[in-house]
Amino acid sequence: MVNTGSGVVITATGPIDRLDRFVAAIVEEHPPLAEIASIQSKRLAIASTAAPSTFVILPSSDGGVNTAIPPDIALCDDCRRELLQPSNRRFRYPFTNCTNCGPRFTIVRHIPYDRPQTSMASFTLCASCASEYHDPADRRFHAQPNACPQCGPSLTLVGTEGDTLDSSDPISATATLLARGLIVAMRGLGGFHLVANALSAEAIALLRRRKQRPDKPLAIMARDLATARKYCLVDETAERLLCSPAHPIVLLERNPRHPLPEELSPDISEIGVMLPYTPLHLLLLYSEQCPEVLVMTSGNNSGAPICTANDDALRRLAPLADAFLLHNRDIVTRVDDSVAKVVAGRPLLLRRSRGYAPAPLYVDFTLPEILACGAGLKNTFALARGNAIFPSQHIGDLDNLDTYEFFQESIAHLRSLLELEPQAVACDLHPDYLSSRYAAELGLPLHRVQHHHAHAVAVMAEHRLPGPVLAAVFDGTGLGDDGSLWGGEVFVAELTSYRRLAHLSQLRLPGGDAAAVEPWRMALAALHRTYGAQGALLHLPAALRSLEPERIDTVIAMLEHDFNCPATSSCGRLFDAIAALLGVRTRMSYEGQAAMELEALAKRARPIDWRRDFLPNSPSWLSPFLESRDGKWEINCQQFVTMTIDALDKGEPPPQIAWKFHRQLTATLAHLLHILAEDTGITQIVLSGGCMQNSILLEGLLLALPTPEIQVFTGNRLPVNDGGVSIGQTIIGGLQHVSRHPHAGHQRPG
C-alpha cells in the first residue's frame, strides 16, 4: 500500500473472488473516519514470487497532490479509556491519540500527511510508540501524531511573566486556579482558549471586563453528556452533534431546573456547549478540583484571530489571564471551534471550522482551479478544483488587520497544501470588502458574484440541486446588482444566474454603517417610512424617548433630506428596527445582537401549541403585507411597524409583540413562496442567509412550506450565514469562468 498525491494505491494478490470481496469490504467495512470518495481497480499480472507476502506501507510518493487533508478529530473512546486507566502507559497523558482521533489539519505543514511533514517532526518516537506505529494490527499503526509521556509533547503552567508555576501536575494546578475564580489561557488544538469557572458569576464578570466583551455569549465546555443535560436541553440530534467526531459547540436552550449564570449569555435563551475534545480537556474537567462546566472562549483580543503560539499568547493575553497552560506541540494552522444548532430536529452548522475544515465538498460538475475570497464579515474563503470544493476554516471579520493577515496566510497555506494554482478568482460584488480588494489585486480573471446569489448557491451545492429553485435569502446587507443594498430576497436561482422575484420593501439606513450597530436609527427610519417626519415623532415609543432629542432630530432630518441614508431591503435591519421599537436594544455590542435578543424575547411568549400557527394560512389576513407591483412582489415592512406600534399603544407586553412579529413575518414569507411556486412551477425551495439562523423563522418555514409537491432545503452542513458565501462564489465564479474560457475546466496535465 502507498499514499500517493492522488489517493491510496493498494496492490493485493490472491484469488479473484477474494480480491472482489476485499474491494467490497473497503467500501462497506472501512474504519469510522475513512471516507471513500471513489474507488478504481485494475488487474495486474504479477508473478506469484514477486507478490509481497505481508502487509506493507511504502513511503509516500510525491506526485500531483490531490489527497484531501483530514480534519482534526475528537478523542475516541479507546483513547479515552486508556487515559483514565491507571495501569496504562498513557494514563493521564494529555497528548494521547490514535488513527481514529487526534490532531490533523492543525499540525500539517505539507502533504502527503506524514509525521515528518507535521509539527510532530521534532518529537522522536520512543521504542514502544515506534512499534505501535509500525504494527498493522495496532490501533496506532501509522498514527502520525502518535506520542506517549516518554517521547511526546508536554505541558507547563506558567504565570503572566512566563515564570513556571507548576510542571509536575500542571492540569491539577490549573483546575485549582479555575476553582478559585481565576482565568487561565490554555493552549489547545487549533489555538488558545480563555478558561474560567462557568458556575461563577464573578469569574464570568471578570473575564468579560478584561476581554471588553460586555454581552456576547460565551461558549462553555461540560465535563460530559450528563453534565450538558443537567444544564441544557439536549435532544437526540444535539446529542449526536455533541458526540460526533467533530465535537462542535452546539447552541442549546438552558435547562430551567439548573440555571447557569445569566452572565454567560445575557438576554439570549441559548447557550453554546461543547464536550471535551482533546485528552487535555478531559483530564482538566475530570480533575478533582475542577468545576464541571468551564467557560471556553477564544483566546484573543476582541476582533483579532485566536492566538496559537506560546510567545504571542504570553504577550497578547497577559492582561486577560492569570496563568497560562502551555504545551510544546506547535499549532501550524489556526482553527476555531465549530458551531452548530438544531432546528426542527435537523442539524445546522453555523460555523464550519474545527473538525470539518478543510474536508472537501463534492459537486456534480467540473470547476477550474479557482479561489473564492468570501464575504467581509464571518469570512471563509474556498479553493476548488475539478469536482471538489475545499472551504477554509472560519477566518473572521476582515476589518481587523490581524484577521486580514490570517486570511492571506491561510490562502497561501491551503493553496500550498493542495498544490493548487488558481486560474481565476471570485469575490463579492461589493468592491469595498477587503476580500474583494484582495481578489482584485491578484491580477487573475475576476468574477464578481452577487452576495445573496452566493448564499443560495451554497445551499444548492450542499443538496446537489441543479436548479432552478426558488431561493429565499433573508440576510444582513449585501450589494445588489441595482446598486442598492439587498437582504430580504426571493430569487429564481440557477447555478450561474438568478432573477429577483420579490423582496422586502426598502428601509433607509441613516448614517450607513452606523445604522447596523445602532438599531435606534433603524427604528426611526422605520417610523419615518411609515408615518412621515411628523408622524414618526408622534408615534415615538417609550423605548426611544430616552434618546437625546438632538440625535433624533438629526436622524429625522437626514431621512427628510435623504442625506447619507442608503436604502436596503435587508431583513436583518428590519429585525433591528422592531427590536429597538420594543426597547430590546438600541445599541449593539456584537453583530446580530438585537435580532438574537428579539428572538429570545419572542420565545418567552410562544404558546405551547405554537406549531399550529404555521399550518397553511388563510390568504386574506396576509394581504396587507404583500404587494405586487410591476410583476414584482414586495413584503411591506411598514405593516410590521404599524402592527408593532398599535400593539404597544394597546399596552400589549413586548414578548407577545415580538412573537407576533416573528409569526407574521414567517407566515407572510411562506404565503409568498407558495404563490411564487404556483406561478413559476418550481417545486424546490432553498432557504439561506443569516436570518435563517433564527429558529422561529426557520422552523416556521419548515412547517409551513412543504406540500406533497414542494421540497424545502436549507444549509445543514454548510453555514447559511456569510461563512457559506465563499462556497457559492467558487461555483458561480468557476462556472462563469468555464463558460468564458471553454478549456478552463480541464484538469492540468499530470
Three-state secondary-structure class, residue 712:
strand
Quick check: 278 binds Zn ion (CB under 5 A)?
A: no
Would you state the cell numbers that stand for residue 677, as one nine-digit string?
411556486
Q: Rounded distance, CA 388 to CA 221, Å?
A: 34
What does 76 interact with, of Zn ion, Fe ion, none (CB < 5 to 8 A by kind)? Zn ion
Nearer to Zn ion among residue 79 and residue 295 (C-beta): 79
Cα dihedral 337, 257, 660, 628 sign: positive
Minimum gap (Å) between residue 395 Cβ and Fe ion? 15
Nearer to Fe ion among residue 690 and residue 734 (C-beta): 690
Minimum gap (Å) between residue 369 Cβ and Zn ion? 35
Minimum gap (Å) between residue 693 Cβ and Fe ion? 11
Minimum gap (Å) between residue 475 Cβ and Fe ion? 4
Nearer to Zn ion among residue 79 and residue 371 (C-beta): 79
- The CA distances from residue 510 to 190, 521, 565, 591, in Å, are 40, 6, 4, 18
Q: Pick from 66, 67, 100, 278: which binds Zn ion (CB under 5 A)?
A: 100
Q: Pick from 126, 205, 567, 675: which binds Zn ion (CB under 5 A)?
A: 126
Minimum gap (Å) between residue 88 Cβ and Fe ion? 49
Q: Pick from 69, 73, 101, 295: which binds Zn ion (CB under 5 A)?
A: 101
What does 710 interact with, of Fe ion, Zn ion, none (CB < 5 to 8 A by kind)? none
Minimum gap (Å) between residue 662 Cβ and Fe ion? 20
Q: Rounded distance, CA 425 to CA 437, Å?
A: 11
Quick check: 129 binds Zn ion (CB under 5 A)?
A: yes
What does 722 interact with, of Fe ion, Zn ion, none (CB < 5 to 8 A by kind)? Fe ion
> Minimal CB distance to Fe ion: which residue?
475
Nearer to Fe ion among residue 220 and residue 348 (C-beta): 348
Quick check: 98 binds Zn ion (CB under 5 A)?
A: yes
**Residues 697 and 668: beta-carbon distance below 8 Å:** no
Binding site for Fe ion (CB under 5 A): 475, 722
Minimum gap (Å) between residue 83 Cβ and Zn ion? 9
Nearer to Fe ion among residue 166 and residue 489 (C-beta): 489
Quick check: 122 binds Zn ion (CB under 5 A)?
A: no
Q: What is the DSSP string of 186-224?
A: EE-SSSEEEEEETT-HHHHHHHHHHHT-SSS---EEESS
Nearer to Fe ion among residue 384 and residue 456 (C-beta): 456
HSE (side-chain half, CA atoms, 13 Å) at 87: 0
Quick check: 33 binds Zn ion (CB under 5 A)?
A: no
Q: Rounded distance, CA 694 to CA 701, Å?
A: 11
Q: Which of 264, 685, 265 is nearest to 491 (CA)?
A: 685
Binding pattern for the stretch 145-184 against Zn ion, x by CB under 5 A and - elsewhere: ---x-xx---------------------------------
386 backbone φψ class: left, alpha, beta (φ>0; ψ -120 to 50): left
Nearer to Fe ion among residue 699 and residue 722 (C-beta): 722
Task: Give the binding range for Zn ion (CB under 5 A) out of 124-132, 240-248, 598-606, 642-650.
Answer: 124-132
Nearer to Fe ion among residue 397 and residue 475 (C-beta): 475
Instruction: Tally Cβ neighbours within 10 Å of residue 20.
Output: 12
What does 100 interact with, of Fe ion, Zn ion, none (CB < 5 to 8 A by kind)? Zn ion
Q: Rounded distance, CA 39 to CA 27, Å?
A: 8
Quick check: 76 binds Zn ion (CB under 5 A)?
A: yes
Minimum gap (Å) between residue 439 Cβ and Fe ion? 17
Minimum gap (Å) between residue 1 Cβ and Zn ion? 21
Minimum gap (Å) between residue 174 Cβ and Zn ion? 23
**Residues 625 and 664: beta-carbon distance below 8 Å:** yes
Would you state the cell numbers that stand for residue 398, as one nine-digit string?
476582515
Query: If you search the block for the grid coordinates 497552560, which residue do you land on?
Result: 325
Nearer to Fe ion among residue 204 and residue 691 (C-beta): 691
Nearer to Fe ion among residue 453 and residue 521 (C-beta): 453
Q: List, in order, residues 6 or more apart from 412 with CB less than 8 Å away.
A: none
Task: Give the binding range for Zn ion (CB under 5 A) out of 119-127, 198-206, 462-470, 649-657.
Answer: 119-127
Residue 504 burial by Cβ neighbours in a 10 Å radius (0-12, 13-18, 19+): buried
Query: If you search the block for the grid coordinates 464578570, which residue do you land on?
Result: 205
Minimum gap (Å) between residue 592 Cβ and Fe ion? 11
What does 475 interact with, of Zn ion, Fe ion, none (CB < 5 to 8 A by kind)? Fe ion
Residues in binding contact with Zn ion, number by CB under 5 A: 10
Identity at 42, one-letter amino acid code: K
Is the bond leading into 468 cis (omega within 30 degrees of zero)?
Answer: yes
Q: Residue 455: in which H helix or E strand, if any?
A: helix 451-462
Q: Exposure string (b/e) for 592-624, b if CB count within 10 Å is 16 or more?
A: bbbbbbbbbbbbebbeeebeebbeebeeeebee
626-629 vs 632-635, strand pairing mode = antiparallel
Name the residues that contact Zn ion, by CB under 5 A: 76, 79, 98, 100-101, 126, 129, 148, 150-151
